[in-house]
Structure formats: C-alpha cells, structure tokens
Chain A
Amino acid sequence: DAGITQSPRHKVTETGTPVTLRCHQTENHRYMYWYRQDPGHGLRLIHYSYGVKDTDKGEVSDGYSVSRSKTEDFLLTLESATSSQTSVYFCAISVPGSYGYTFGSGTRLTVV
C-alpha cells in the first residue's frame, strides 16, 4: 500500500538487546522519517533522512540511531533496548513540495 512497507510488524525483545527496524519504499522519495507513537503523546519524530547518508535527529532521538545506505531503505536501530522504548514505530515518506506524508503500517515493539 502506497509503496512503503515496514518490517517486522511485531517484535518482542529483551532489555539490553539490539533491535533494528526496517522501512522500505518503492517510490524513490528523498525524505523518510521515523516516528514513535505512545498514548497521550501523539506521534513524535525520532530521526529523519533527506537523502542517502543524510540523516538528522528529531525530538526524541536519544537511544536510537539510523542509517540510509540506499534510497529505498531507512533503518532504525535501538542499540540496547529499554522498556521505555516499548512503542509503535511508524515510518513515513514525503514528496518535496507536497508536504503530505504517507505512513507505513507500523511496527509494534515490546521490550520485556
């Protein structure tokens, strides 16, 4: 749907383990974003990318890193997962000039 897929859809991991979430797009869009969604907080921006190897931090970037080695893939890594990172993670893409975002289906991550 809309050329953006996230994997995995669900994941349970243990505290202290590394976790990588993948966002893949087939639209060749330049801009990609990672958000987390928590009750009462809406969607908060973690990191975003404006091109291959070009990334920047969002408002809640602590504990997260990202990589974008090719246009179609944007990876989000939790180096050492903590319970506070239990959340639903959404990837999004946007088209320059239109501003509208298209979101992926989300990844539900549980850290136990």
Chain B
Amino acid sequence: GENVEQHPSTLSVQEGDSAVIKCTYSDSASNYFPWYKQELGKRPQLIIDIRSNVGEKKDQRIAVTLNKTAKHFSLHITETQPEDSAVYFCALGGKLIFGQGTELSVKP
C-alpha cells in the first residue's frame, strides 16, 4: 500500500531563515500531494498542495516542489516567523495517507 516517510521529525531555525521538510513515498500512482499545518491544540489545516502535473507551486513564503521520478516532495518556508512554529504534515493520495509530522520551531 501507500507509504510516506517525512524528515526531519524536528526542525529548529532562527527567525528569518528558511526551513525545508521532505517527504518520500513509494506508490508511483500518487498524484496529489498536500501539506497541512497544525498548531498546538488545533486541527490540521491545509496550507498548500500540488498535483502531479506540475513540479513547483508557490504561495507567498511557502512553496512545494515535487520530483515524481525520485518520488519525493518538499515544503519550503522562507523568511520564517515565530508564528510558523507548528507541526507540519505531508500527505498523499485521494484517501489521504499522512507522514509522521515535523515539529518546526522558529526562534526569535
């Protein structure tokens, strides 16, 4: 079945630096790759997604890149701010399978 591995599990950066989270997957049939942000005690919320027919998508300070040949996709956050601190989950498929999560800490 589908499987997705997410790294790193924790990430600490200084405010203003960039953060990158990577996910690798095994099912070559996957064609939808979303990223969710979950703040402490809150529900996960969709922040950006990409379909398999494009290689990159940007929305202000966040971007997602997809390499279908290598079966990995990454979340890029530039100019990080303290409010970016949260747990980030990648996922794939129509019936979403989630990665294990990355706890991002942005230090002022």
**A binding-site residues for B, Cβ under 8 Å:** 33, 35, 40-45, 48, 58-59, 90, 99-106
Q: How far is the CA of A104 from the CA of B45 in the complex (A)?
A: 10
- Count residues on chain B whose CB falls below 8 Å from chain A CBs: 22
The answer to whether A100 touches B49, judged by C-beta atoms less than 8 angstroms apart, is yes
Instruction: Name the one of B91, B97, B100 contacting A40, with C-beta atoms under 8 angstroms.
Output: B100
**B binding-site residues for A, Cβ under 8 Å:** 1, 6, 9, 32, 34, 36, 42-46, 49, 89, 91, 94-101
Note all chain A residues with C-beta closer than 8 A to B42. Answer: 105
Note all chain B residues with C-beta closer than 8 A to A101. Answer: 34, 36, 44, 46, 96
Note all chain A residues with C-beta closer than 8 A to B32. Answer: 99
The answer to whether A100 touches B34, judged by C-beta atoms less than 8 angstroms apart, is yes
